[in-house]
Structures are given as structure tokens and as C-alpha cells.
Amino acid sequence: MPTRDFSEFDLINERYARRWGSQIIIYGRPCSSLSYEACKDYATRLHRSVDQARSRHISISGWKARTESKELITLKLIAAQLDEALRLWKDIIIVKKNRASCVPNYSPDIRDVQICDALDSLSMLEKTVEAIGIPHHERLFIDQYRDDGTECECRQCAPSADEIRQLWFTAQIAHAEVAQKTPALFERVFSELRRLATTL
């Protein structure tokens, strides 16, 4: 697999980049390539899995059960988080069309910060799914590897120290309003970037 070209992407931190046109997001380290349409299809299958898990729980516990299984609760949380990410993502697609950001290769749009936050939560929930062993669960995030099986070495997976420091510098300026008005969101999305920028 060739190194990914980020020349037509807007980044916000070390783990999130959205392609111009907004149909593709590169998320995580190692990175996963997410398309809007594929994520919509995944959400449909996920809601079907929630319905199936609810049916299994009812068949075991009965209609009057006051609690839900850990499997069902986790799947419902993943579905709700993905629905929120898709809602924000659709807004960006409508607004951005094929336009690049006003800041070269960087997004000052708060919706990108919110989508990254939602994807972070989804990633953590997927790890919970792996830990509790929900059968037949389909993962959303698939790590990218080269054809020879080695890990991806793209700008997102293996950025230079200068790229990390520039990202952190730009984030503080472009998302100063986020830091001021919703500091908890800023901390969740940018704390790792800050750590990398000050330690590399």
C-alpha cells in the first residue's frame, strides 16, 4: 500500500483528517479510512444488531425485565455515538462541498472537533466490545497496513516532530474559541497532540 497523500485533506490533530469534499475521513493511529456512505451502511447494520440483541435479551429475561444486558447497552451506546457523528458529518458535507479550508490543510470548523470526539468515543466503545466479547460484532475501525503486512507510515501514523508541533500551534489558534467556551471538549480532542508537541 503506497503512503497516503494528505495534500487534499484538512487536519485538526494527530489522528483526524477530512478530505476535501468531506466524503472521506482518516481517523486514528494506526489510521482507518472511513467513508460517509460506508458508515451510513454500517449504522444500518448496527441498529439491526441492536434489535437482535434486544430480542435475545427479551427471550431470556422476559418482557418485564428491568435491566438490559451489557451487550445491548454497549451496542446502543455505539449506535447513538455513530448517529451523532453522522449527523455532524452530513452537516459538513452540505456546507463544505468540494471546498478546501481557509487555513491550508487545516480545519477550523468546530464540527470536525466534535466528529473527532465522537469517533474517539466510538473507538473506546469498540475496545469495550472486544473486552466483553460480543459475538459477530463488525468493527468500524480497521487498521491500515502495507501490502507486505507492515504498519502504515503515512503522515498521520508516522508524522514528523515538525508536523506535530505545527499542528499544535495551529490548533491553539484555529480552535481558541473551543478552548474558551468548551474546554473539556478541547482537552479531550487536543490533549494528546499537546503532549506529543511538547515531548517529541
- pLDDT tens digit sequence for 14-37: 999 999 889 999 999 888 899 999
For 106, the 3-state DSSP assignment is strand
E strand spans, the chain: 9-13, 16-19, 24-27, 32-35
Residue type, 193: L
- pLDDT tens digit sequence for 128-172: 888 888 776 777 876 655 556 667 888 888 899 999 999 999 999
| All cell numbers assigned to 82 | 455513530
Q: Is the pLDDT of residue 188 over 90?
A: yes
Delimit the domains of the chain by residue range.
9-157
Give the span between the Cα atoms of 95 and 85, in whole angstroms: 16
In the block, cell 466490545 appears at 129
pTM: 0.87
Give the span between the Cα atoms of 103 and 166, in whole angstroms: 13
Contact (CB, 8 A) for 31 and 145: no
- pLDDT tens digit sequence for 83-139: 999 999 999 998 876 666 677 789 999 999 999 999 999 999 988 888 888 776 777
